[in-house]
Amino acid sequence: MDLGIKGKKAIINGGSAGMGKGSAIALAREGVDLVISSRGEERLENTCEEIRKETGVNVVAVATDHSTDEGREKIIKACPNPDILVGTSSPPMHTPDYESISPDDWRETLEVSLLSPVSFMKELIPGMVKRKWGRIVNIGTGAAKTPAEVRILSGGPRAALVNYSVAVSKKVARHNVAINNILPGMHHTAATGERYLKLAEENGTTYDEEIFEFAKKWRIPARKFGTSQDFGDFVAMFCSEQATYIIGQSLVIDGGIDNTTF
């Protein structure tokens, strides 16, 4: 299926690994030129080169922290008129005890998970409106919809981001600017790989066995984690020409753990 976005330009924040990388690869395969940001320069450069070799699209790496004013300025300077904005970031620490969360923990998480994507949208939406074409996908977390103590730092700020995104989406939809959110559950990423390989070593098991046991314990009906590439394909769909009538939606991709009707 042709998504109709060949030749478009996209900013992918947090795109050097995991679901951000999966999104970048999926868009590149559709012929979208990319500006990818990440804090870690070496991994970012490797990811960009991998995408260039596979797809032949133009890929620009911007090693910076997108939660800072300076970082956002560098990214937007590299792509001042993007057609597509996809935003994600490294998840904050788990919080098994809500009382242990400090004010500094909240400030750091809010800067990365809420204030930064809001700033990007505020800066870039006017140009999309003027050009009568734009797609924005915020990659959040299933915890934004289904609260859990262990994911308070992740769920709270991203729930606020969803609220903001949906409100703004209704104002700009008539200009062919579609803003949506994707809320993932557990996926195979660099972070999960590191964590569960370590557990496997400690427990004398395998990575796959640890994943299955986690999925069983947390009652994930699919009994597995999602893949970053499958996830990226859904991001690309939300960025497509055909997505013009998908407005202010939040798609949960979590293997069925979200126990709600809607």
| pLDDT tens digits, one per residue of 14-45 | 999 999 999 999 999 999 999 999 999 999 99
Cα-trace Rg, the chain: 18
| Residue 91, pLDDT score | 78
Q: How many whole angstroms separate alpha carbon 247 and alpha carbon 167?
A: 10
Whether 191 has a pLDDT exceeding 90, the answer reads: no
CA distance 244 to 202: 49
Distance between CA atoms of residues 16 and 63, nearest Å: 10
Which residues touch 222 (CB under 8 Å, ≥6 apart)?
215, 255, 256
**pLDDT value of residue 203:** 95
Model pLDDT, residue 94: 84
- Residue 96: pLDDT band by 50, 70, 90 thresholds? confident
The tokens for 239 are: 């960025």
Joined tokens for residue 92: 């904050």
Note the pLDDT tens digit of each residue in 144-161: 998 889 889 999 999 999
Amino acid at the residue 95: T
Q: Which of 55-64, 87-96, 159-168, 231-240 has the lowest mean pLDDT?
A: 87-96
Q: Kindly state the average pLDDT of the residues 67-77.
A: 97
pLDDT confidence bin for 93, thresholds 50/70/90? confident
Record the pTM: 0.94
Pick from 26, 23, 19: nearest CA to 90: 19
Mean pLDDT of the chain: 95
pLDDT classification of 107: cutoffs 50, 70, 90: very high
Per-residue model confidence (pLDDT) at position 7: 98
More confident site: 95 or 259: 95
- What is the SS3 assignment for 198? helix
Quick count: other Cβ atoms within 10 Å of Cβ 80? 13
What pLDDT does 138 receive?
97
Per-residue model confidence (pLDDT) at position 212: 95
Average pLDDT of span 95-116 = 93
pLDDT of residue 262: 76
pLDDT at 261: 75
- Alpha-carbon dihedral angle through residues 109, 110, 111, 115, given to the nearest 10 degrees: 150
Provide the percentage of residues in the chain whose pLDDT is more than 90.
87
Superfamily of domain 9-253: NAD(P)-binding Rossmann-like Domain (3.40.50.720)
Which pLDDT score is estimated for 90? 75
Q: Give percent of the chain with pLDDT exceeding 70.
A: 100
Q: Write down the domain spans for the chain.
A: 9-253
